[in-house]
Amino acid sequence: MVGVVLMVGFMFPNLFRQWIHHLLDPHCPHCLETAREKSICPNCEVLRQQLEIANYEKRQLTDTIVAMVLPKVADIPIVQSEQKPIRPRTIPWRVKQQELEANSRDLARIQREQAELAKQAGLKSSITTPEISIEDLEKELQIVETKRESEFEVLKETGNG
């Protein structure tokens, strides 16, 4: 066996020396560096460099586009808006009722103004105004009410009520 090893050592002296060195000192820094260099092929290294270049260019383009799109801090005007008071989540009925009444009054006023403008222009208004005035309705209700009261009194006198 020793003869075979010596014969191989004479035939391939460099290979024999590396094998002995690996047996005696397997983790020397020189061997680790050589192994790392052998594991990285030149094609992979070229591809890695090209990928780094492409990523760098992509980052530069993205930064340029973002700089063009976003306004500078000095260009943005500061808007001072009036601050509204914070309202509670639940609104009391009286407050809500007042708001609804105010909105209703505003809507009625706008409708009256539109009807008047349409009447002045000679157009037919899409909003119909009642032909009976409020006073006429109140008089009619008063008549109906007095009629009911009189019927009730008649029923009371006859004993049916």
What share of the chain in percent tops pLDDT 70?
Answer: 81
What confidence tens digit (pLDDT) does each residue in 73-113 have?
Answer: 666 667 777 777 777 778 889 999 999 999 999 999 999 99
How far CA 133 is from CA of 12, 14, 19, 44, 138, in Å, comes to 125, 122, 119, 95, 9
Q: What share of the chain is helix, strand, coil (3-state, %, to 5)?
A: 75, 0, 25
54: amino acid identity, one letter: A
What is the model's pTM? 0.27
Give yes or no for residue 55 having a pLDDT over 90.
Answer: yes
CA of residue 44 relative to chain centroid, distance: 44
Q: Residue 98: its pLDDT value, please?
A: 94
